[in-house]
Amino acid sequence: MQTHIAPRFQDDPDVDEADTILRSCVHCGFCIAACPTYQILGDELDGPRGRIYLIKAFFAGAPATEHTLKHLDRCLTCRACETTCPSGVRYARLAEIGRAHLEAEVGRPALERVKRRLLRAIVPHPERFRLLVRLGDTFKPLLPDALARQIPTLPKPRLTAPQATVHTTRRVIALAGCVQSVMTPATGAALAQILGTLGVAVDVPASAGCCGALSLHLNAHSEAHDYMRRNIDAWWPLIEAGAEAILVSASGCGSMVKEYGEALQNDPDYAEKAARVAALACDPSEWLLERAAEIPFVAANRGTVAFHAPCSLQHAQRLQGGVETLLQRAGYRLTSVRDSHLCCGSAGSYSILQPMLSQLLRNQKLEALQAGQPDCIATANVGCQMHLQSGSETPVCHWLDLCADALAPVGGL
């Protein structure tokens, strides 16, 4: 793609990066077939190729408009287009740069600004988020059914199998996360239980927190980088002590942590550490898959599962098939899911900022997942888990919970 960058952007390194990405696009249009919003809206400007043209025109000097920002905001950043693209166009990074520059020039209505600030002020902070969920749960009986279903309920304490004390020098780091630590804490316990059977202990530093993805996607880049630095500081002593990996069981957070090196590459104090953290970051599925033969699953027919692969797992991290293999080894039968590459509509804050499109995508995804009449739906990201459960009577859980349920009891009892 030929480009022309307007003089006012000439000295902006982010725009230089955007220009390089734009030039890699060959207009083929393969990305359109993979784009969930294009499939729903049928508008070229609500597909990757159309959004690329909008960004190109803006950086060439076209006026910034709310119309352009609206089409970029409708993007899920699911990155299915990147998986499909034969030219390797880094669309997600291009959209991130384009949105940030457009928002700086166009601005947003007051209500939108307040909504985004509240998300950044509450969601990355577990205690604040827990309080908000409790308040919502309290007033849920007073709300219409359609709205009440969107409000999550804090989980009841779950009885888990006793975990053997792990006396070992082998250790990994795990990220509890912000939403996951509040809404699905059993996922972290399940990971620790599985690792315990392999003789691996888990460290979860209390000073580590939000991965920074929410702030980054809401154009608060400096705030996102601060979250990244805090996590690096929390993990670094453990890394120096020999931690084998950083396991991130929420795939959305995992895709962010794997990009710390790129995000902080120009930070003289953190660039090297960030690159090391990114190299150590793993989704539990890729780490456990290499050790699958050692996991003591009890042979049994454990029922039927429909697996929803989050976009952050299959498109951002490019991990496919690992979870399914582990679930099958644990004794579960997997159903076939049509259009498994498409987003469920959760996409971080998207379900709050774009509720209509998000619910349409959720309903389509649930129809596909439930077609095989599974006993439960499994996924690999807390956002997808909560979003799907809000529209489904079928239980939705994290795949680690299912694998932990299939383990031999401690002591073989």
Instruction: Show the CA angle centred on residue 151, arms to residues 148 and 187, nearest 5°.
Output: 140
CA 402 to chain centre: 20
Evaluate whether 153 touches 137 at the Cβ level (below 8 Å). Answer: yes
Nearest-angstrom CA–CA distance, 409 and 413: 6
Q: Is pLDDT at 28 greater than 60 in this prediction?
A: yes
Give one word for 161, left, alpha or beta, with left for phi > 0 and alpha for psi -120 to 50.
Answer: beta
Residue in the structure block whose two tokens are 């059993």? 186
Determine the Cα–Cα distance for residues 185 and 217; give it in Å rounded to an integer: 24
CB 102 within 8 A of CB 64: yes
For residues 288-295, give the mean pLDDT. 96
Q: What is the largest CA-CA distance in the chain?
A: 72
Q: Is 53 helix (H, G, I), strand (E, B) or coil?
A: helix
Would you place residue 413 in the very low, low, confident or very high pLDDT band (cuts 50, 70, 90)?
very low
Predicted local confidence at residue 169, as pLDDT: 81
pTM, whole model, 2 decimals? 0.92
User: If you average pLDDT over residues 224-233, what whole number do you get?
Assistant: 98
pLDDT level of residue 147 (50, 70, 90 thresholds): low
pLDDT at 71 over 60: yes
| Per-residue pLDDT at 346 | 96
pLDDT in tens, 313-356: 999 999 999 999 999 999 999 999 999 999 999 999 999 999 99
**SS3 assignment, position 211:** coil
pLDDT tens for each residue of 86-144: 999 999 999 999 999 999 999 899 999 999 999 999 999 999 999 988 888 777 776 66
Alpha carbons 200 and 59: distance in angstroms, whole number? 50
Query: What was the pLDDT predicted at 134?
Result: 86
Q: In terms of Cα–Cα distance, which of 266, 247, 383, 364 is closest to 317?
A: 247
CA end-to-end span of the chain, whole Å? Answer: 64
- What does the block give as tokens for 280? 């150590």
CB 99 within 8 A of CB 73: yes
Contact of 158 with 406, CB cutoff 8 Å = no
- Which tokens in the block code for residue 342? 């498409």
Q: How many residues are present in the chain?
A: 413
Radius of gyration for the alpha carbons in the chain, expressed in angstroms and rounded: 22
**Tokens coding 194:** 């599985």
In contact, 250 and 382? CB cutoff 8 Å:
yes
Bigger pLDDT: 209 vs 413: 209
